[in-house]
Amino acid sequence: MTTFKEWYLEYEIKVNRAGLLGDVSSLLGSLGINIITINGVDQGRRGLLIKTVDLERIERFENIIEQLDDIEITKLRTPQLRDRLAVRHGRYIKRDVDDKKTFRFIRKELGILVDFMAELFKEDGHCLIGIRGMPRVGKTESIVAASVCAHKKWLFISSTMIKQTVRSSLLKGEYDQKYVYIIDGALSVKQKDEKHKQLIREVMNLPTVKVIEHPDLFVENTEYTLDDFDYIIELREHDEQEITYEQISKNNLFDHDEFAFF
């Protein structure tokens, strides 16, 4: 049985002439390279997911393109998650320059955020995700929507989404990789119930997906650190919004004297 390998190809348009896309597509086809999907991913750039049976055909394509003035290949690699999302949505998701595991979104990008998290939720095994954001920006709703897209169930360990929820135990069937466990870090560290604290420890050790809202408050008052997180997501109303907890403090939602989780 023939085995195909996928590649991500991105090129910059140097001469934007009529028929350029058709010429590139025809060249790929003549080399036996199939196009899965194609889209503009940035101004003057196109991204393609392609597949072929061997590396030699990719190398031949690359050598031919090097002789042309119309386009320049900027990426040719095994597809990463960001590549797939870029082709799907027409642009790259924003990534922190210094901290490569931190990704930034604004509220009008909730569709891309849900798609991104859904792909993370599909991964097998342990995955710890933190999500920062001010109240009512769409954090919890995005997690729930991503769980649905990933065909997984969601389970609140602590939450204030509809009403305040603080679990102290799980049912036998709730210890399962089919669940995405959601923890409101700010709410959990405020609890004095030892059973809830023990449940948090149990969930953190499960080989499955955990999402913690307000990860900074969570790590300040537990034995965990931000280094334990595989991904950090920041969600804002707009690019300039600063994520702080001053508003929450003014509303007396958090009593810092009670932050003593471990």
Instruction: Say whether both 33 and 120 belong to one domain.
Output: no
Instruction: Say whether both 131 and 220 belong to one domain.
Output: yes
Q: What is the pLDDT of the chain when averaged over all its residues?
A: 91
Whichever domain contains 28, its CATH number is 3.30.70.260
Instruction: Say whether both 231 and 109 belong to one domain.
Output: yes
Instruction: Say whether both 75 and 194 belong to one domain.
Output: no
Instruction: Say whether both 213 and 103 belong to one domain.
Output: yes
Last residue of a domain, one of 61, 85, 109: 85
Instruction: Say whether both 146 and 49 belong to one domain.
Output: no
| pLDDT value at 22 more than 90 | yes
Q: Do residues 85 and 93 touch, judged by C-beta distance below 8 A? A: yes
Instruction: Say whether both 127 and 245 belong to one domain.
Output: yes
Domain range for 62 is 5-85
Last residue of a domain, one of 66, 85, 104: 85
pLDDT in tens, 159-170: 988 788 999 999
Cα–Cα dist 238/137, whole Å: 10
Last residue of a domain, one of 51, 68, 85: 85
pLDDT in tens, 31-82: 999 999 999 998 899 999 999 999 999 999 999 999 999 999 999 999 999 9
Instruction: Say whether both 16 and 77 belong to one domain.
Output: yes
Instruction: Say whether both 117 and 74 belong to one domain.
Output: no
Per-residue pLDDT band for 247 (boundaries 50, 70, 90) equals: low
Instruction: Say what the alpha-carbon torsion angle 187, 189, 194, 195 is, to the nearest 10 degrees.
Output: 50
Whichever domain contains 248, its CATH number is 3.40.50
Per-residue CA distances from 149 to 145, 152, 210, 245 (Å): 6, 8, 16, 30
Instruction: Say whether both 207 and 100 belong to one domain.
Output: yes
Q: Name the domain count of the chain.
A: 2
Instruction: Say whether both 24 and 101 belong to one domain.
Output: no
Question: What average pLDDT does this structure show over 92-105?
Answer: 91
The residues pairing with 102 across neighbouring beta strands, listed in sequence order, are: 232
